[in-house]
Amino acid sequence: EVSTEDPETAFCTLANREDLNPEEGSIHHCLYQFTRNEKLTGTNKLLCDVCTQRHYGPKKNTKSEKKYVYTNAKKQMLISLAPPILTLHLKRFQQAGFNLRKVNRHIKFPEVIDLAPFCTAKCKNVAEGNTKVLYSLYGVVEHSGTMRSGHYTAYAKMRSMNNHLSDLVLRGQSPQALETEPVKGQWFHISDTHVQPVSASKVLSSQAYLLFYERLL
């Protein structure tokens, strides 16, 4: 969604991004980099309809060549609608000459993540005054092997359904008590037909390829 807003508020977020100071090699750092301000200059300048009309006058329905005005601009991608389920897909490959190479680096990810520093200040389904948008981890997909072959396994948390909390989230309302702890439950490792219980620390040390979070607040 492309929006035109007051420049003073267009790049504001629910929580101050500068206070985040994300650790390199973490999912917070990935999100911080993905949602950073970009300057559009040179060949990346933005075509400005307002500037064009101001310089050349109103657009006419003629076959004559139309001239346009391009201007320097800033661009930032932020979340405008917090989803009930957050899916994060990590890029696990990089170009190496004419070949693709798998990235095996471990990316740190938490059991509870706050998306507020990456949400627009006018996020549509966040209650006014809220400065936190919390999600709890419930699933991880991991890949072992190379770009040519390998094996997918998964970690999943078995937990009880909280219907009251789900209804509040879907209606864009907030619980009375701030929930900062992950949803309680038992983690399991699934590999084909083999399923075994594992600890949360085992899950957090995995080489995540896909991360699945459910909204808490």
For the stretch 76-121, pLDDT in tens is 899 999 999 999 999 888 777 777 778 888 999 999 999 999 999 8
For the stretch 3-56, pLDDT in tens is 556 666 778 898 888 888 889 999 999 999 999 988 999 988 888 888 888 888
Residue 177 has pLDDT above 50, yes or no: no
Which residue, 169, 103, 100, 91, is CA-closest to 130? 169
Q: Where are the domains of the chain?
A: 79-215
The two three-digit tokens of residue 66, written as one number: 């139309």
* Spatial separation of the C-alpha atoms in residues 145 and 126, rounded to whole Å: 40
| DSSP 8-state symbol, 55 | H
% of the chain residues with pLDDT over 70: 83
* Spatial separation of the C-alpha atoms in residues 112 and 52, rounded to whole Å: 47
Please indicate whether residue 179 or residue 100 has the higher confidence score (pLDDT): 100
CATH number of the domain located at residue range(s) 79-215 in this protein: 3.90.70.10
Taken in order 143, 105, 89, 109, the sign of the CA dihedral is positive
pTM of the predicted structure, to 2 decimals: 0.79
